[in-house]
Amino acid sequence: MKRKERTEILIQGSDAIARDFAKEIEMKYTVTVIQQPENGLVLLKARETAKKSLFYLGELLVTECKVQIHDSIGIGIVKGHQEELAYWLAVIDAAYQADLLETRVWSHILEKEKENIQKNRQELQQSILRTKVSFETMDVQ
Amino acid sequence: MGYVAVRGGTQAIEESIKRLKYERLKKGTVLDVHKIEDGMRGLIDQVMSESSLYDQSLAAIAIKQAEGNPEEAVFLLRAYRSTLPRKHVSRMMSSEDMQVERRVSASFKDIPGGQILGATTDYTHRLLDWELEKETEESIQDWLYAYHAENRLTEYDQRHMSDITNLPKVLDYLRSEGLLASCENNDLQPEDVTRKSLEFPSKRSERLQVLTRGQTGAVTSLAYAVIRGYGALHPTVGELRVGQLPVYLDHPLDEGQEEDSYYIGDFQATEVEMLVPVTVEKERGKKEMEFEIGYGLCFGQNETKAIAMGILDNCLENPNADFPSQNEEFVLYHIDSVESTGFISHLKMPHYVTFQSKLDSIRKTKEKASTGETGSGNE
């Protein structure tokens, strides 16, 4: 599973998955923290739709952490002040970078969590769709 | 006359700061920052947008410290922001990826995907709800339970599920009809007004950045002036969207690989596309009506500000010396919360020396005048 999809599931899903994956790696390998979780900013670049040009919308507070397993560096970065999650994400990223055996069995857990996320999203969408207007044309005398 | 340093206010300042804390605490109530974050969504969104820093928790602390004063809260957040390292620039975000929570058009009744009202005060009666005085934790839990039960997915819902991600844009419909000039993506990298001071004529990216972080009241008032006649625009909301935008970052050593990018979370934004009818002169002096777009995008659910931003965007794209609202220097230099409130409020700080110098000048003028009068009387 590629990083984009993986980080979507780990951040949108339950924190327990990231925590359990990271603990599993910590128990079996030496994890060296290169950069403790710290706050920083991400500048948001957006495309406007009038002339389709780019501009900066503002900045987002993030927490970022970097760790090393063997020769592989993992980066964990997440919106807001979330030190533990940033660390867990960094360990998981390093595990994938190092192609550790454990990562191969994580896919089905992630796929299952993806289904939960989609179900929750469908419920949210359905409740939003209750506010969709159903126009009726009134009789004109 | 130059500035002269004076001393003697240290103790008074310390006591004043203590007094400020006393004013915040004197009723013995501790305002829980989580309650501010959970219950003051409108103020949080306004403060984040004007601060140009998205984080609800930080905004809640700033609001608590500022005792609910938005200009002070924005000042605090801008100051805090300046202490943080900027670690990354996001991959380009597009509103087509927005998880829509609300989406309406004032121009077309039947838009693909429909008019989705979402959460809005637009159709409320604006009557004070006295029941809120009696609201309890228990009563809201009951209400939430009933709401969730009402919204639980049924088998019928699952079979007839509509997808509201990637809703088609109203502008794309107009472009496909040939009613709006189509344009190609412009990938010119934007300027950043927080790193490089504005110079005129400004670039489009600079104008949009200043407008999106502008003070809500100032942006709204200037746009209102445009519609009242201090401008030459008669716009309609083509589409307004509120929803969550996902943020992705490239790997520092492997830029450009979308599938290998990092997802870091979503944030809420309001996007508005204003349709502005204009008369265009074609061949042989033939005049035709066309639409131009005014664009607004800001943090949080800030609909009035996003609409106003769209109006001012179009104004500044079409400079007109007859109207200050179509003068980029007038608009862009006066809508920033920290700059405008900072300058106006600094007027109450000690100006003893400059004022004394003005006083001396007035006294001398009056003395001269009275001497002149006496002199002329003697003649």
Tokens, residue B271: 């996007």
Is A135 within 8 Å of chain B by CB? Answer: yes
Chain A residues whose CB is inside 8 A of the B253 CB are none
Measured between beta carbons, which residues in chain B are less than 8 angstroms from residue A54?
92, 186-190, 205
Mean pLDDT of the residues in chain A: 95
Task: Say which residue the tokens 């030190």 belong to.
Answer: A83
Over range B74-86, report the average pLDDT.
98
Question: Is the CB of residue B296 less than 8 Å from the CB of residue B316?
Answer: no
Q: Any idea where the domains of chain B sit in the sequence?
A: 10-81, 95-121+164-341
From chain A, the residues in CB contact with B57 under 8 A are 80-81
Q: For B299-314, what is each residue's pLDDT tens digit?
A: 999 999 999 999 999 9
pLDDT band per the 50, 70, 90 thresholds, residue B248: very high
Contact A43 B89 (CB under 8 A): yes
User: Which residue of B lies nearest to A60 if distances are taken between CA atoms?
Assistant: B54
**Per-residue model confidence (pLDDT) at position B74:** 98
Compute the distance between CA of residue B200 and CA of residue B209 in angstroms, rounded to an integer.
Answer: 15
At B378 the pLDDT is: 47
Which residues 24-83 in chain A show a CB within 8 A of chain B? 39-62, 64, 75, 77-81
Q: Which of B54, B162, B171 sits opposite A58 (nearest CB)?
A: B54
- β-pairing, B236-249 vs A54-69, is unpaired
Quote the CA–CA distance of B248 and A92 in Å, as a whole number. Answer: 17
pLDDT digits (tens, 9 = 90+) for B313-346: 999 999 999 999 999 999 999 999 999 999 999 9
Mean residue pLDDT across chain B: 92
Q: Cβ contacts (< 8 Å) between A53 and chain B: which residues?
A: 186, 188, 190, 204-205
Span B201-213, pLDDT tens digits:
999 999 999 999 9
Residue B112 pLDDT more than 80? yes
Structure tokens at A106: 């994580």
Structure-model confidence comparison of residues B4 and A109, the more confident one:
A109
In the structure, what pLDDT confidence band is assigned to residue B379 with cuts at 50, 70 and 90?
A: very low
With bands split at pLDDT 50, 70 and 90, how would you rate the model's confidence at B155? confident
Inter-chain touch B91–A45, beta carbons under 8 Å? yes
Under 8 Å between Cβ of A54 and B188: yes
- Alpha carbons within 13 angstroms on the beta-carbon side of residue B37 total 12
Q: Among B116, B190, B263, whose Cβ lies nearest the Cβ of A129?
A: B116
Is residue A141 assigned to a domain? Answer: no
User: Model confidence over A106-129: pLDDT tens digits?
Assistant: 999 999 999 999 999 988 998 999
B376 pLDDT higher than 80: no
Residue B362 C-alpha, separation from nearest chain A C-alpha, in angstroms: 48
Nearest residue in A to B56, CA atom = A80
pLDDT category at A83 given cuts 50, 70, 90 is very high
Q: Which of residues 185-214 of B touch A (CB under 8 A)?
A: 185-190, 192, 204-206, 208-209, 212-213
Residue B21 is predicted with a pLDDT of: 97
Asked casually if ipTM beats, i.e. exceeds, 0.90, the reply is: yes
pTM for the model stands at 0.93
Q: What's the total number of domains in chain A?
A: 1
Pull the structure tokens for residue B22. 């006393």
Percentages helix, strand, coil for chain A (3-state, rounded to 5) are 50, 30, 25
Of A47, A123, A129, the CB nearest to B92: A47
Longest dimension (CA), chain B: 107
- In this structure, is residue A139 part of a structural domain? no
If one compares B257 and B78, the residue with the highest pLDDT of the two is: B78
User: Is the residue at A136 inside a domain?
Assistant: no
Question: If pLDDT is split at 50, 70 and 90, which confidence band does B159 have?
Answer: low
CA of B178, closest CA in chain A: separation in Å? 15
pLDDT tens string B197-245: 999 999 999 999 999 999 999 999 999 999 999 988 889 999 999 999 9
- Measured between beta carbons, which residues in chain B are less than 8 angstroms from residue A55? 190, 204-206, 208-209, 212
B54-73 per-position pLDDT tens digit: 999 999 999 999 999 999 99
What residues of A are in contact with residue B302 (Cβ under 8 Å)?
A: none
Question: What would the pLDDT profile of A33-78 be if each residue is shown by its tens digit?
Answer: 999 999 999 999 999 999 999 999 999 999 999 999 999 999 999 9
A28: in domain? yes
State the nearest Cα–Cα gap between A131 and chain B, in angstroms.
5
**Nearest CB to A53; choose among B192, B205, B267:** B205
Looking at chain A, which residue has its C-alpha nearest residue B164?
A125
Mean pLDDT of B162-175: 81
Among B235, B335, B249, which residue's Cα sits nearest to residue B291? Answer: B235
Q: Is the pLDDT of residue A25 over 70?
A: yes
Q: Residue A41 sits in which domain range? A: 3-129
Which residues of chain B lie closer than 8 angstroms to A57, CB-CB? 93, 209, 212, 269, 297-299
In which region does residue B289 sit, left (phi positive, over 0), alpha (psi from -120 to 50) or beta (all else)?
Answer: beta
B70-81 and B56-65 helices, crossing angle to 10°:
130
User: Does residue B372 carry a pLDDT above 80?
Assistant: no
Q: Which of B85, B164, B265 sits opposite A78 (nearest CB)?
A: B265
Task: Give the residue on B whose Cα is nearest the Cα of A50.
Answer: B293
**Residue B267's pLDDT is what?**
98
Q: Are A24 and A102 a contacting pair, CB within 8 Å?
A: yes
